[in-house]
Structure 1
Amino acid sequence: MYFATIAASAIALAGAASAAGNPAHRYAQLRLWGEPGCTTLNLGEEGIYGDQLSQCNLLDENDVVRSVSFEGADDGCTLYIYSDLECHLTKQEVTVGTCLSGEEYYRSFELFCDV
Structure 2
Amino acid sequence: MAYRKKDPAESLEELKAKKAALRAQFDDKLGKLEREIKATEAKRRREEEKIRTRQKIIVGAVVLEHAERNPEWGRDLWDILNRAVTKPDQRKTLGLDDGSD
Is TM-score (shorter-chain normalized) higher than 0.5?
no
Q: Comparing both structures, which one devotes a greater share of its residues to helix?
A: 2
Q: Which has the higher contact order (CA 8 A, sep 6+)?
A: 1
Q: Which has the larger radius of gyration?
A: 2
Q: TM-score, normalised by structure 2?
A: 0.31
Q: TM-score, normalised by structure 1?
A: 0.28
Q: Comparing both structures, which one devotes a greater share of its residues to strand?
A: 1
